[in-house]
Amino acid sequence: MSKVHKFVITNSDLCIACNACMKTCVKNAYARGKLSKKRLDVLSLESGKMPNQCRQCDDAPCANVCPTGALRIANSCVELCEEICIGCKLCTIACPYGAINIDAEFPPSIIEEVERHLEAGCISGLKSIAIKCDMCDGIESGPACVSACPTGALVMVDPVLGECKFGKKVKGDMTPFLKAIVPDVTFTNIPAPEIKKPKEPKPAPAETLETNKEEA
């Protein structure tokens, strides 16, 4: 069965561990009214470092075990509703990629309710909720981490349309990488890798030329 959901994945050969993806992830989440927490982690591996985030599984084990329906399979990704998440951690156990974290925090959407309870004399503790990539849902330009990547290591893949979105520049050939990830998809918009032109040698100083003529 071919994959349906869009997803973001990293070519570790191009990742330089600059952490630009993590920083822009937090800023973008806050701007969208979500918790200002990173939704991806830069992992240290034997082969180097690379970002790791939700793969938007079509069968979504995390959504299948969620007791409240906070995690649900949508048309293009696996969505998380922060308001009804109870922080039970079942999703973190079910995720095969270790891409879901639990954090003790108030979602922005319930802060006003919490403040009303505090004013009424009710003591409210922090709420533990799941944190995962939502593909920057609602942003037309797509995932912020992809746009921020300076080497094109992060790529958003749409297996249904056969399209992919890269960052500012692509420093290497992504064709073999994408072919290995989704072998049954033919992509039509893979950009050619950026090739730096060799610098032309600087002309020799005039004094050196004159000295060489005299010696000859």
| Whole-angstrom distance, CA of residue 130 vs CA of residue 177 | 30
Note the pTM of the prediction, 2 decimals: 0.73
pLDDT per position as a tens digit, 66-120:
999 999 988 778 999 888 898 899 999 999 999 999 886 655 555 566 566 556 5
Q: What is the DSSP string of 78-98?
A: EEE-GGG-----HHHHH-TT-
Integer CA distances (angstroms), 67 to 7, 86, 115, 128, 196, in order:
24, 9, 27, 15, 53
Looking at residue 197, its pLDDT comes to: 61
Q: In this model, does residue 131 exceed pLDDT 50? A: yes
pLDDT > 70 in the chain, percent: 76
At 198, the pLDDT band (50, 70, 90 cuts) reads: low
* 143-171 tens-digit pLDDT: 999 999 998 889 999 888 888 888 777 87
**Could you give the percent of the chain with pLDDT greater than 90?**
25
What pLDDT was estimated at residue 176? 85
Model pLDDT, residue 143? 92
pLDDT confidence of residue 44? 82
pLDDT the model gives residue 99: 93
Residue partners of 113: CB distance under 8 A and separation at least 6: none
Bridge partners, 121 (sequence order) = none
Please tell me which residue, 20 or 115, carries the higher pLDDT value. Answer: 20
Task: Return d(Cα 50, Cα 149) in angstroms, integer.
Answer: 12
Average pLDDT over every residue of 205-209: 58
Instruction: State yes or no: pLDDT of 21 exceeds 80.
Output: yes
Pick from 84-93, 107-116, 183-192, 197-206: least confident: 107-116
- Report d(CA 138, CA 140) in Å as an integer: 6
Q: For the chain, first and last CA: distance in Å?
A: 76
User: What pLDDT, on a 0 to 100 scale, did the predictor assign at position 1?
Assistant: 46
